[in-house]
A and B are shown apart, each in its own frame.
Chain A
Amino acid sequence: ETGVTQSPTHLIKTRGQQVTLRCSSQSGHNTVSWYQQALGQGPQFIFQYYREEENGRGNFPPRFSGLQFPNYSSELNVNALELDDSALYLCASSLGFQVQETQYFGPGTRLLVL
């Protein structure tokens, strides 16, 4: 186990709704990254937070937003859900954001948008 937890494990929403996914990083890890993994695909980078500030963003619209808190927890918020948002959402924590810093992934939250 990586020590990274995510909640909830599964979630069903309808199109247009809003969702908040949560991640608890390993203690001491000040960097968290969020990824979206569609079925049969590799994870896609959404954004990264370092010490509560956004530290890079992938090709995702502004309706995907995040927060990181001082207690090593973080949130991914998605507004105006679309059917294509159905995916496994993964968070990964690391000691820092340098190349050599290993990312430890949580088990993910599986989101289904109907």
Chain B
Amino acid sequence: SQKIEQNSEALNIQEGKTATLTCNYTNYSPAYLQWYRQDPGRGPVFLLLIRENEKEKRKERLKVTFDTTLKQSLFHITASQPADSATYLCALGVTGGGNKLTFGTGTQLKVEL
């Protein structure tokens, strides 16, 4: 069956460190993958999109990698700050599906002082 798996346990890290979140998928052939941030009581906010033919994308302190052989995406936040604390969701899109998304369950990140 198709699955998108993210760490279900919260990730706690110290301010200034790099946070690395994982998204693994099975039985999908995604054309692209997106990462979103969701704060409590709010809708997801788009962060980055990476296509299947791209290995890495960067935006300010954010970096996403996409390995279609390992069927995995890694999401990095460098120099993390308490304001980065939120739930991070990965989402897949497939060829022919336009921008319709299938989301993972999300990983909660807590950045401590």
The residues of A with any CB-CB pair to B shorter than 8 Å are 2, 4, 31, 33, 35, 40-45, 48, 55-56, 58, 90, 92, 94, 96-108
Contact = CB atoms under 8 A, between A and B. Distances in A.
Given A43-B89, A98-B99, 6 more contacts: A33-B99, A42-B105, A90-B44, A100-B99, A107-B42, A108-B41
B73 to A, nearest CB: 14
A97 B102 contact: no
Contacts of A4: 43
B93 A99 contact: yes
Contacts of A97: 98-100
Contacts, number: 70
A98 B34 CA distance: 14
Contacts of B49: 99-100, 102
Interface in B3-52: 4, 31-32, 41-46, 49, 51
